[in-house]
Amino acid sequence: MTKKWVYLFDEVGDAEKYAGDWEGVRALLGGKGAGLADMTRAKVPVPPGFTVTTEACNAYRKSGKFPEGQWDQEMSSMKDLEKKTGKQFGDPDKPLFVSCRSGAKFSMPGMMNTVLNIGLNDVTAEGMVKLTSNPRFVYDSYRRLIEMFGTVVMDIDDEAFEQPMAEYKAKKGYKSDTEMTSQDWKSLVVTFKEVFKKETGQDFPQDAYEQLELATEAVFKSWNGKRAVDYRRATGISDDLGTAVNIVTMVFGNMGEDSGTGVAFTRDPSTGEKKMMGDYLLNAQGEDVVAGIRNADPIGNLKKQMPEVYKEFMEITDRLEQHYKEMQDVEFTIEGGKLWMLQTRNGKRTAKAAVKIAVDMVDEGLISKDEAVLRVAPDQVDALLHPQFNSSEKAKAEKSGAFLAKGVNASPGAAVGQIYFDADKAEEMAKNNKQTVIMVRPFTKPDDVHGMIAAQGVLTSEGGATSHAAVVARQFGIPCVVGASAIMIDLDKRTMTVQDKTVKEGEWISVDGTTGEVFLGQIPTTAPTLEEQTELLTLLLWADEICARDGIRKGPKGYPTRGLQVWTNADYPKDAQRARSYGAVGIGLCRTEHMFFEPVRLPIVQKMILSHSSEERTRYLDKLLPYQRSDFDGLFEAMDGCPVIIRLIDPPLHEFMPDEEALLEEVIELRVKGETKGLKEKEDLLAAIRGMHESNPMMGLRGVRLSISLPEIVEMQVRAIFEAAADCTLRGVVVKPEVMIPLTGTVKELEWIQPRLERIAGTVMKEKGVNFDYKFGTMIEIPRAAVTASEVAKLAQFFSFGTNDLTQMTFGYSRDDAERNFLVTYVEQGILPVNPFQVIDRDGVGKLMEMAISEGRKSRPDLEVGICGEHGGDPESIEWCHLIGNNYVSCSPFRVPVARLATAHVALKHSGT
Ligand code: ADP
Ligand code: MG
Ligand code: MG
């Protein structure tokens, strides 16, 4: 028996049996086909139809022809449609028409092809005119078929059809398609057939089955079309899936004023508010709404125009939401007063809407808290904390006359950039010239997606909230304003004009996707606060609860049994406060050297470095001590009750000194001018700096090596830490200081320095008469430390992976040089899967980390382990930290909310429940 390549919509049970589960059905029939079949089963009015499977598509892609049996099955399924509808394909007396629609497992809106009105030809057209007495509708449909068939199946350029149509309308003085009469459409059918013949050398095929066969093939082929491939690259959808083909009985929304077509979201895809949002057009067909050819009506108006249909529509969409427990994005058509559903899928939404919908659905009892947490991707949270325009700056811009236009606020966020009027140029300027770019178009088409992704923002002069530009921008989190109709775009002159203001290509504008406003020039942006986003706060609390579940993580004895904690990297009390308000429960890295750079302190630091004796050095350090103590005091206070890891001085000392070249210039200038005042000091300083020169300072005298050469510095730092901690304790603040020694390569280094420092800690506590818990530990950022971790852990009470250095040292790359010179090529050539400075290299660096933890816990079972490199805020790297048994990840304050969600995701993913 030949394989089953085709499933009728009412054979979804068979598909389930074959595919195993619903995921499998979606893979087999595609999302659109599975949805149509599922709706059919749920007795939602769906026009009869069938689906040719993705397996058939993949077989076709391999062999270049339909697999055996596919076409026979399609033809016999057509017979089934004929039976169900009482019509006949290609028969002028009671003609059946179908659409041929693409639909992959994951929705790729508008990326592949669809042909409507298949079955129309000269004969059936006449038949339809007789049947409907509506020649205008018939010829409109026919010319659409020739155009869609021509562009989709025969690869004719859109322009070849649009040009003569525009000319025709201009000649007649029409502004809109609605003015076209039946005669007009009829003569366009003739023109379009001529175009078809001229472009392909063949006549437009009159045979209905030939139309169907070629359209099926074209849909298969569209899987490998450029825009589909681009889209898959951008969204990470696999190239192997293939698309299904859905053959659906046509229902006509362009049959008159009691017909129409529309698209709708069951909730607001921009804000998440529980309110139906959509657009529809009376007397129009499918794509008209999305293409924004005419300005559509908001769905609410349907209530007045067709109350019965509206009621049924609301009832059906409500049922669909309950069934899928997800916000739905639906397509519908009304034919002669009867409602038909043509598609349902989980709707794309902004980050803001994703959070609100997830939280609301928990309140509505539709989904669990765990499910809600999983519904929001960590990176979406990042978008929520992204820049908005500073409102006073915006007001200022407005006053100064920079306001250009207002359109539909299609995708929120603020974008500032230089404008470009086509996707290729926008992409080129963004990628090659590193500009921040705003792509401006009358409207966008699927071919434009690569330009949109490269842009910071998108602006169109046409279309509405469900137009292509809006949908794509929301999906990728790109601020977007659509339908700013006051803007006149001149694609030839490469300008856009609003009244007397003209903006040229390459000039700056500011686009506010939250309000729909567009301004000339660059308006400063600010980041929104977390406090005002109550739904996000709720969701993050649920995420924390998940991580706090005892037993959610399995591992060897001594390993953490809860999820990861999220700590933060903060050098100053104000950063610590912000991070804490974002939910950080510890400081994983405070870099003390930043404190040395402050203007009043730097001269003292420099004198300290240049000191000739230990006594002299100590004198300067005594001056620095109060500063450091007060820094730490503020930090402990801000983090009351939480652990605070303070890293002792790490960078090479030359970083604190004046620039050698600049100093040399000054010396030369003084010499040339013959001035002696100050010359001697400058010469001495220059000599000292030259003496400190190292050919590879990042691998030279820094970290613990520096502490061993000049122990006075870290001795002062430890004294400052413990004095501050003691003072805080006396004030009732709960302190948990952890002193971190950087760049350890051998335990002998710790053996040398740590006891001295611990002695100071003990002395200070005795002096102040207080006692509190503290730890001494080290960074693991040199491969040797990772390899000898069981030895290192004999002294170190905690490890913190400094994965920036660990990655540099493991690969033997210097980060700046690598990123500038060859990393991009390496990633492009597939030598590295991604930039290892952004995502942890699990096979190399990650293995070292895993080993360091297991070795370290051999000698110290309760070893506390964290990560403080930039990877600590990256969801994929966070997953690795979870798997190898880290206690926490530490990241920059702004990444804390992202990390909280990411830690919960991985905890659930690997909980085994
Ligand atoms: P896309 O994936 O780009 O949305 P679709 O296959 O959903 O493509 O179809 C494009 C448009 O045509 C949609 O508006 C859809 O509702 C409409 N359409 C598709 N099939 C039919 C049909 N059988 N009858 C009426 N309209 C249809
Ligand atoms: Mg669709
Ligand atoms: Mg380091």
Q: Which residue is listed with tokens 């801000």? A: 638
| The dihedral formed by the CA atoms of 316, 320, 321 and 324, expressed in degrees to the nearest 10 | 170
Burial code of 106-118, b = ≥16 C-beta within 10 A, e = fewer? bbbebbbbbbbbb
The C-alpha atoms of residue 363 and residue 456 are separated, in whole angstroms, by 35
Q: Among residues 814, 804, 824, which one has the least CA distance to residue 869?
A: 804
Using an 8 Å Cβ cutoff, are 272 and 356 in contact?
yes
Of ligand 1's listed atoms, the one at least distance from the Cα of 253 is 25
Compute CA 267 distance to the chain's CA centroid, rounded to the nearest angstrom.
Answer: 21
- For residue 308 the two structure tokens come to 């019965």
| The dihedral formed by the CA atoms of 445, 449, 453 and 458, expressed in degrees to the nearest 10 | -10
Ligand 1 site, residue 81, Cβ cutoff 6 A: no
By CB neighbour count within 10 A (0-12 exposed, 13-18 middle, 19+ buried), where does 672 fall? exposed
- How sure is the predictor about 475, in pLDDT bands with cuts at 50, 70 and 90? low
The C-alpha atoms of residue 204 and residue 153 are separated, in whole angstroms, by 11
pLDDT in tens, 126-152: 999 999 999 999 999 999 999 999 998
Using an 8 Å Cβ cutoff, are 565 and 622 in contact?
no
The C-alpha atoms of residue 644 and residue 585 are separated, in whole angstroms, by 9
The C-alpha atoms of residue 394 and residue 887 are separated, in whole angstroms, by 44
881 C-alpha to center of ligand 3: Å?
18
What is the torsional sign of CA 460, 464, 465, 467? negative
Q: Is the pLDDT of residue 721 over 80?
A: yes
The C-alpha atoms of residue 135 and residue 128 are separated, in whole angstroms, by 8
Highest mean pLDDT pick, 151-165, 403-417, 775-789: 775-789
Q: Is the pLDDT of residue 913 over 60?
A: no
Of ligand 1's listed atoms, the one at least distance from the Cα of 98 is 23
Q: What is the mean pLDDT of residues 655-680?
A: 89
| From 114, 117, 152, 289, mutation site for ligand 1 pocket: most ligand atoms within 8 A of C-beta | 114
> Which residues are registered as beta bridge partners of 416?
510
The C-alpha atoms of residue 134 and residue 255 are separated, in whole angstroms, by 7
Ligand nearest to the CA of 99: 1
The C-alpha atoms of residue 372 and residue 804 are separated, in whole angstroms, by 33
Q: Is the pLDDT of residue 476 over 90?
A: no
765 C-alpha to center of ligand 2: Å?
70
Q: Whose CA is nearest to atom 15 of ligand 1?
A: 286
The C-alpha atoms of residue 276 and residue 268 are separated, in whole angstroms, by 7
CB atoms closer than 10 angstroms to residue 279 = 22
| From 342, 445, 466, mutation site for ligand 1 pocket: most ligand atoms within 8 A of C-beta | 342
Q: What is the mean pLDDT of residues 553-577?
A: 92
Orientation of helix 54-63 relative to helix 22-41, angle to 10°: 120
- How sure is the predictor about 292, in pLDDT bands with cuts at 50, 70 and 90? low
Q: Among residues 824, 853, 840, which one has the least CA distance to residue 891?
A: 840
Work out the percent of the chain whose per-residue pLDDT is above 70: 99
Ligand nearest to the CA of 808: 3
Using an 8 Å Cβ cutoff, are 495 and 461 in contact?
no
Of ligand 1's listed atoms, the one at least distance from the Cα of 332 is 16
Ligand nearest to the CA of 290: 1
Q: Which of 468, 654, 871, 905 is catalytic?
A: 468
Burial code of 847-875, b = ≥16 C-beta within 10 A, e = fewer? ebbbebbbbbbeebeebbbbbbbbbbbbb
286 C-alpha to center of ligand 1: Å?
5
Average pLDDT of the residues of the chain: 93
> In this predicted structure, what is the pLDDT of residue 367?
97
Q: What is the mean pLDDT of residues 406-430?
A: 92
By CB neighbour count within 10 A (0-12 exposed, 13-18 middle, 19+ buried), where does 771 fall? exposed
Q: Picking from 188-192, 232-236, 271-275, 788-792, which range would have the lowest pLDDT averaged per residue?
A: 232-236
pLDDT in tens, 339-376: 999 999 999 898 889 999 999 999 999 999 999 999 99
Q: Among residues 332, 295, 99, 279, which one has the least CA distance to residue 178?
A: 295
Q: Among residues 583, 107, 534, which one has the least CA distance to residue 352?
A: 534
> In this predicted structure, what is the pLDDT of residue 108?
84
Neighbours of ion ligand 2 (CB under 5 A): 343
DSSP state of 588: E
468 noted as active-site residue: yes
Work out the percent of the chain whose per-residue pLDDT is above 90: 76
| From 39, 84, 96, 99, mutation site for ligand 1 pocket: most ligand atoms within 8 A of C-beta | 99
Q: What is the mean pLDDT of residues 775-779?
A: 98
Compute CA 606 distance to the chain's CA centroid, rounded to the nearest angstrom.
Answer: 45
Task: Tell me the three state secondary structure of residue 808.
Answer: helix
> In this predicted structure, what is the pLDDT of residue 199?
95
- How sure is the predictor about 436, in pLDDT bands with cuts at 50, 70 and 90? very high
User: Where is 879: in which H helix or E strand?
Assistant: helix 875-884
Ligand 1 site, residue 116, Cβ cutoff 6 A: yes
Q: Among residues 257, 475, 486, 462, which one has the least CA distance to residue 347?
A: 475
38 C-alpha to center of ligand 2: Å?
16
Neighbours of ion ligand 3 (CB under 5 A): 781, 802, 805
> In this predicted structure, what is the pLDDT of residue 849?
98
- Looking only at the bridges linking them, the beta strands covering 437-441 and 457-460 are parallel
CA distances in angstroms from 88 to 91, 208, 249, 691, listed in the order given? 5, 11, 11, 94
pLDDT in tens, 7-35: 999 999 999 999 999 999 999 999 999 99
Q: Which of 868, 882, 891, 905 is catalytic?
A: 868
- Looking only at the bridges linking them, the beta strands covering 114-118 and 277-282 are unpaired
- How sure is the predictor about 892, in pLDDT bands with cuts at 50, 70 and 90? confident
The 3-class secondary structure across 498-555, one letter per residue, is: ECCEEEECCCEEEEECCCCEEEECCCCEECCCCCCCHHHHHHHHHHHHHHCCCCCCCC
How many CA atoms lie within 13 Å of 747's alpha carbon, on the beta-carbon side?
13
> In this predicted structure, what is the pLDDT of residue 110?
73
Nearest-5° Cα angle at 404, 399 to 409 = 105
Using an 8 Å Cβ cutoff, are 116 and 285 in contact?
yes
- Looking only at the bridges linking them, the beta strands covering 403-406 and 388-389 are unpaired
The C-alpha atoms of residue 451 and residue 279 are separated, in whole angstroms, by 26
- How sure is the predictor about 293, in pLDDT bands with cuts at 50, 70 and 90? low
Q: Is the pLDDT of residue 527 over 90?
A: no
Ligand 1 site, residue 47, Cβ cutoff 6 A: yes
| From 116, 145, 223, 313, mutation site for ligand 1 pocket: most ligand atoms within 8 A of C-beta | 116
pLDDT in tens, 221-268: 999 988 888 888 888 888 999 999 999 999 999 888 999 999 999 999
Q: Is the pLDDT of residue 330 over 90?
A: yes
**Cβ contacts of 335 within 8 Å, gap of 6 or more:** 251, 252, 253, 255, 259
Ligand 1 site, residue 115, Cβ cutoff 6 A: no
**Cβ contacts of 402 within 8 Å, gap of 6 or more:** 510, 519, 520, 521, 523
pLDDT in tens, 481-493: 999 999 999 999 9
805 C-alpha to center of ligand 3: Å?
5
CB atoms closer than 10 angstroms to residue 166 = 11
The 3-class secondary structure across 736-787, one letter per residue, is: EEEEEECCCCCHHHHHHHHHHHHHHHHHHHHHHCCCCCCEEEEEECCHHHHH
Q: Among residues 848, 833, 739, 704, which one has the least CA distance to residue 789?
A: 848
Indicate the pTM of the whole model.
0.82
Using an 8 Å Cβ cutoff, are 60 and 219 in contact?
no
The C-alpha atoms of residue 34 and residue 12 are separated, in whole angstroms, by 8
